[in-house]
Amino acid sequence: MALTFFAAPLGSAWAVHGQGMGYEPKYGPGFTHFDYVNPDAPKGGDLVLSSSGGFDKLNPFTLKGTPPEGMGYSANGFVFSEYGLMFESLTTPSEDEPFSQYGMLAEDIALAPDRLSVTFRLNPKARFSNGDPVLAKDVKYSFDTLMSRQASPTFRSYWSDIKEAVVVGERAIRFDFKRRNAELHMIIGQLPVFSPKWGEGKPFDQIVTEPPIASGAYVVEKVDFGKSITYRRRPDHWAAELPVRRGMFNFGSVSYQYFKDRIGEEESLKAGMLDALEEGSIIAWVRRYKGRRFDSGELVKEEIPHARFTGMQGLIVNLRQPRFQDIRVRQALELAFDFDWLNAHLFYGRRARTQSYFQNSQDLMAAPEMSAPERELLDGLKHKADYLARTQGPLPRAASTGDTAAGLRAQLVQAQSLLREAGWQFRDGALRNDKGEPFVIRIDFADRASNVVMAPYARNLAKLGIRLEYLVRDPSLIKKRLDDFEFDMAVQILGGSSSPGNELYDDFGSKSAQEKGSQNLSGIADPVVDELVELIVGSHDRSSLAAAARLLDRYLLHQRYLVPMYYGKQYFIARKTHLRHPEAALPQRLLARSWLLTMWWMAPR
């Protein structure tokens, strides 16, 4: 399928309301609302949600500190599939297509015929929360600020191929590209826009406690740092009746109450203090979501199936440490992780093993046999010889014990042999290297519920002589350690996009390996990976993009950079009975927490 480009020569009519990555957008120029929302959802009501840990700033775009829930962006991970309450971008996605963007702040979009620039014309109705119009100069200010050293490095990596933003009219802005990039005209539409008046002239990285001046549906009404935050819906929200926002942002206010840990959130829900809670622990879901309010029907439990692209959730190791640079060590760590036992005894069979960096995406996941399009792309790689040398043998699949003692024993014997080959010997009660140093791995968690998963893994590693220390720490401390790459092992989710592209630079690129605050926590710095990422980013049709993604998936799996974990096949949400959600099936790309926040409503009581 040829990639659909919407190009308009200078001086021509503005023609496009939306863009699809390799296809015609599903929703035409006259659409009234997305199919997965309830366009008649009533407005009003006060939604109370929760979070664990704390927050210490109201600027989600800087590296230092932790922003509150509800903002929608994070300095340590720019997740575009999630909605925020305060910041609108030039375009907004539909969640029932692989990768489509429709005008939000931008009324129209034009890609230049040479595909080296894209121009957005802003909606004249767009207003910041202080009443000022959103103008092209504000868009340029937002872009220049996010690309500066005062903001998270994620933005500089994601938009690295953009040369500059040029104001070409009061409500028209052009982005010039350094080179042709298949998705750049779409991902720059994801730029969040905020007012230059935010912070009243302070350097951007010193804007900490000042509420943002942005163009979204909500403003900060009340904040108690580290404890709670309340957002109030703007009665004058300019975009309320746009097709891309009809039926969305329905609550009159949204509050987040913060708790020390997950147990506090659960107990507050059961006490009637919270309206809804998404549960990630199946043990908690089955055993603890009980009580008087569930029995009376005031609280309802829902298991909502999904087919979302989940990416790779795994225990990543810090390759900057010499002991983890040996692939035999990394494979041994994988063999000690017994998913089958966890799924049978802790997860009640509700989890599935992650086997791909593009899990649940049928055309992006590597198959046992390389396809003809993959072989054709491989023949053109500069690093073809290295690729072939490092992908010998069958496609790796996460090890399976079958939940039997014999199965686990066989894997641990294999792991023991690999560690011995890598120079590690068991003596004096521990696995040690030639310097006599014991093999100790430390991993931090913000939630005590993780202990129940890590304890069996620690027991298995102990049989190999490896001591796994897992500790519950403050989320802000964990974030700081990850930003500074001061860790041994961490849980991370990588990939998962239905249309992978420029975000891969930050996930896997060599340049991001030493950029503090990047998503390349492992420290992958491999010219083969760099070339494959370039191949994906430069793909101009879905077929070649998918083939390049499969090549990358195959290569990453062979390098065993992490211990594959698992993914959920459904969302677990407990809610008060007066909360309602659309009858349409959950869109494939949408996260449950975003769905609840932006598309649910409160029935009259």
The reported pLDDT for the residue numbered 72 is 77
The reported pLDDT for the residue numbered 4 is 35
The reported pLDDT for the residue numbered 225 is 95
In this prediction, residues 417-428 reach a mean pLDDT of 96
Cα–Cα distance for residue pair 336/461, rounded to 1 Å: 6
List, for residues 40-98, the tens digit of each pLDDT value: 999 999 999 999 888 999 999 998 888 999 987 653 444 444 568 999 999 999 988 88
Task: Tell me the CA distances in angstroms from 308 to 23, 301, 592, one per residue in order.
Answer: 20, 21, 10
Say which residue the tokens 């659309």 belong to.
582
List, for residues 160-203, the tens digit of each pLDDT value: 999 999 999 999 999 999 998 888 998 999 999 999 999 999 99
Choice among 193-207, 371-385, 532-546 with the minimum mean pLDDT:
532-546
List, for residues 544-596, the tens digit of each pLDDT value: 999 999 999 999 999 999 999 999 888 999 999 999 999 887 887 777 888 99
Cα–Cα distance for residue pair 552/536, rounded to 1 Å: 9
**Three-state DSSP state, 326:** coil
**Rounded to two decimals, what is the model's pTM?**
0.77
The reported pLDDT for the residue numbered 206 is 96
Task: Name beta bridge partners: 101.
Answer: 19, 93
The reported pLDDT for the residue numbered 12 is 40
In this prediction, residues 383-402 reach a mean pLDDT of 94
Say which residue the tokens 């296809």 belong to.
23
Cα–Cα distance for residue pair 486/584, rounded to 1 Å: 44
Checking if the pLDDT of 10 tops 70, the result is: no
The reported pLDDT for the residue numbered 3 is 33
In this prediction, residues 353-368 reach a mean pLDDT of 92
The reported pLDDT for the residue numbered 78 is 43
Beta pairing, strands 253-259 & 440-445: unpaired
The reported pLDDT for the residue numbered 196 is 98
The residue that leads in pLDDT, 137 or 81, is 137
Q: How many CB atoms lie within 10 A of CB 604?
A: 7
The reported pLDDT for the residue numbered 395 is 96
Cα–Cα distance for residue pair 367/165, rounded to 1 Å: 41
Beta pairing, strands 218-224 & 489-494: unpaired
Asked if 87 and 103 touch (Cβ cutoff 8 Å), the reply is no
Q: What is the mean pLDDT of the chain?
A: 91
Checking if the pLDDT of 5 tops 70, the result is: no
Beta pairing, strands 299-305 & 570-576: antiparallel
Checking if the pLDDT of 252 tops 90, the result is: yes
**Three-state DSSP state, 405:** helix
The reported pLDDT for the residue numbered 558 is 98
Cα–Cα distance for residue pair 108/122, rounded to 1 Å: 7
Q: 436: phi > 0 → left, psi -120 to 50 → alpha, else beta; which?
A: left
> Sign (positive/negative) of CA torsion 294, 295, 297, 300?
positive
The reported pLDDT for the residue numbered 472 is 87
Name the pLDDT band for 7 (thresholds 50, 70, 90): very low
Greatest mean pLDDT among 11-15, 26-30, 323-327, 536-540: 323-327
Name the pLDDT band for 16 (thresholds 50, 70, 90): low
Q: What percent of the chain has pLDDT over 70?
A: 95
Cα–Cα distance for residue pair 366/478, rounded to 1 Å: 33
List, for residues 284-311, the tens digit of each pLDDT value: 899 999 999 999 999 999 998 887 788 8
List, for residues 442-491, the tens digit of each pLDDT value: 999 887 778 889 999 999 999 999 999 999 888 888 989 999 999 999 99
Q: How many CB atoms lie within 10 A of CB 180?
A: 13
In this structure, which long-range contacts are made by residues 144-147, counting pairs with CB atoms below 8 Å and at least 24 apart in sequence?
145/61, 145/204, 146/61, 146/191, 146/192
The reported pLDDT for the residue numbered 309 is 82
Phi, psi angle pair for 158, to nearest 5°: -65, -40
Asked if 200 and 188 touch (Cβ cutoff 8 Å), the reply is no
Asked if 517 and 153 touch (Cβ cutoff 8 Å), the reply is yes
Cα–Cα distance for residue pair 387/394, rounded to 1 Å: 14
Name the pLDDT band for 495 (thresholds 50, 70, 90): confident
Asked if 359 and 365 touch (Cβ cutoff 8 Å), the reply is yes
